[in-house]
Amino acid sequence: MTSSATVIPVGTSYDVVVGHGVSDRVTDLLSGDVRQVLVVRPQSLARLAAPVVHRLREAGLTVHEAAVPDNEVAKTAQVAAGLWATLGQHAFTRSDAVVAVGGGTVTDLAGFVAATWLRGVAVVHVPTTLLAMVDAAVGGKTGINTAEGKNLVGSFHEPAGVLCDLDALATLPRPDLVAGLAEVVKAGFIADPRILELVEGDLDAATRADGPAMRELVERAIAMKAEVVAADLKESWLREILNYGHTLGHAVEQVEGYHRRHGEAVAIGMTFAAHLAHRAGHLTADAVERHRAILTSVGLPTTYEAGHWDTLATAMQRDKKTRGSVLRFIVLEDIGVPTRLVGPDEALLRAAYDDLCR
């Protein structure tokens, strides 16, 4: 390891390690019984995954690599079946493991495959994007997409550990880094206003991969999520707050065929949720404007094209938080004070959507 690391415990279940050069700790997170490892990575990340593969082989493990498509197109039953076939062909047992190297789509997919192979084998996540570090890799949620919606098929399967190597952030295209900031800012809105203050106080320091505030932002966002999921593994009320902006955000992703970045869709969803909260009498106009100002400042969208409400409303009916035909939204009473809005009137939803489209 090339620098000091911060270890953030997720209850008593596992640790998230944050720092520069920490991916070489991958073998520390595997039990001594592991003999084979399947490294799942996107096709485009062979070079970034190479040090992890080398470290595993150096430890005497048999390593098989599986390259999957980039982005959300990897999260299908067909790709998962291909990974199951690989595990079967190499006779993976319950004492073997999966290591996911990549963004949120890879951690979701590899986690799901690990959860379902022999009813559960160990998985270690090595997230390479900001979005995956602060969100997808932490919490034990796994899943794949179907034509009907995002992450509708999945399982809760906690990883053996997570390695957030901040060196990987320097490899991200600027739009991907910006998209990841949506989940960081979300953490600020729902639980840790200090995150918002860091962004507002020095935008450059907070939005560069090598910016002096980036590590603190990552650690704060992870610590917030770790505290929530440790108290609520399987998404009852407390864990639902992590879905702030996701009800409309997931609908936007589905309607647009998953061509829009997740963070961009969540930014749109958070702006919608802020307008909805304001119209429902929960949130002040100043707080709504703060949403728009912060998200816009980091380069995220806060408006949406008019004319798509009916399609989006249909997609939201398939959201995992929906109960029967009743939509449920996470909204804010104030910055850092989330609550649930259950079954809002259709007219209220349309009005908030109109606000979003202006």
SS3 state at 283: coil
183 is in an annotated binding site: yes
Instruction: Choose among 156, 196, 115: nearest CA to 10.
Output: 156
Q: Which of the listed residues 150, 171, 192 is the one where a domain comes to its end?
A: 171
Q: pLDDT, tens digit, for every residue of 132-187? A: 999 999 999 999 999 888 899 999 999 999 999 999 999 999 999 999 999 999 99
Residues spanned by the domain of 143 = 5-171
Q: Do residues 164 and 67 share a domain? A: yes
Residue 262, domain CATH: 1.20.1090.10
Six token digits for residue 276? 């909805």
pLDDT at 321: 62
Which residues of the chain, if any, have pLDDT below 50?
1-2
Positions annotated as catalytic residues are: 119, 141, 183, 225, 235, 239, 243, 246, 250, 262
Q: Do residues 291 and 233 share a domain? A: yes
Number of domains in the chain: 2
13, 59, 102, 352 from 48: Cα distances, Å: 27, 19, 9, 42
Could you give the CA distance from residue 314 to residue 201 in angstroms, rounded to a whole number? Answer: 40
Q: Do residues 186 and 167 share a domain? A: no
pLDDT at 145: 93
Could you give the CA distance from residue 178 to residue 126 in angstroms, rounded to a whole number? Answer: 20
Let me know: does 44 contact 67? Beta carbons within 8 Å: no
Q: Which residues of 79-95 are buried (b: 16+ CB within 10 A; e: fewer)?
A: bbeebeebbeeeebeee
AA letter at 109: L
pLDDT at 2: 47
202, 220, 262, 271, 312 from 300: Cα distances, Å: 17, 20, 11, 11, 20
Parallel, antiparallel, or unpaired: how do β-strands 141-146 and 122-127 relate? unpaired
SS3 state at 96: coil
Q: Do residues 209 and 326 share a domain? A: yes
Let me know: does 28 contact 238? Beta carbons within 8 Å: no
Q: Do residues 166 and 144 share a domain? A: yes
Could you give the CA distance from residue 228 to residue 232 in angstroms, rounded to a whole number? Answer: 6
275 is in an annotated binding site: no
321 is in an annotated binding site: no
Q: Do residues 115 and 263 share a domain? A: no
Q: Which of the listed residues 171, 186, 203 is the one where a domain comes to its end?
A: 171
* Residue spans of beta strands (DSSP E) within 11-170: 14-19, 36-42, 62-68, 97-102, 122-127, 141-146, 149-156, 161-165
Q: Do residues 238 and 125 share a domain? A: no
Could you give the CA distance from residue 158 to residue 1 in angstroms, rounded to a whole number? Answer: 24
Q: Do residues 165 and 180 share a domain? A: no
Q: Do residues 46 and 166 share a domain? A: yes
232: left (phi over 0), alpha (psi -120 to 50) or beta: beta
Q: pLDDT, tens digit, for every residue of 330-343? A: 999 999 999 999 99
129 is in an annotated binding site: yes
Instruction: Choose among 248, 165, 181: nearest CA to 217.
Output: 181
Q: Do residues 226 and 349 share a domain? A: yes
Six token digits for residue 311? 């399609």
Instruction: Choose among 169, 195, 165: nearest CA to 298.
Output: 195
278 is in an annotated binding site: no
Contacts for 286 with CB less than 8 Å, ≥ 6 apart? none
Instruction: Choose among 214, 132, 228, 139: nearest CA to 179.
Output: 132
Let me know: does 109 contact 144? Beta carbons within 8 Å: yes
AA letter at 165: D
Residue 155, domain CATH: 3.40.50.1970
Q: Do residues 28 and 102 share a domain? A: yes
Q: Do residues 140 and 213 share a domain? A: no
Q: Which of the listed residues 146, 171, 196 is the one where a domain comes to its end?
A: 171
Question: Percent helix, strand and coil across the chain, each rounded to 5?
Answer: 50, 20, 30
Sheet holding 161-165, edge to edge: 5-10, 14-19, 161-165, 122-127, 97-102, 36-42, 62-68
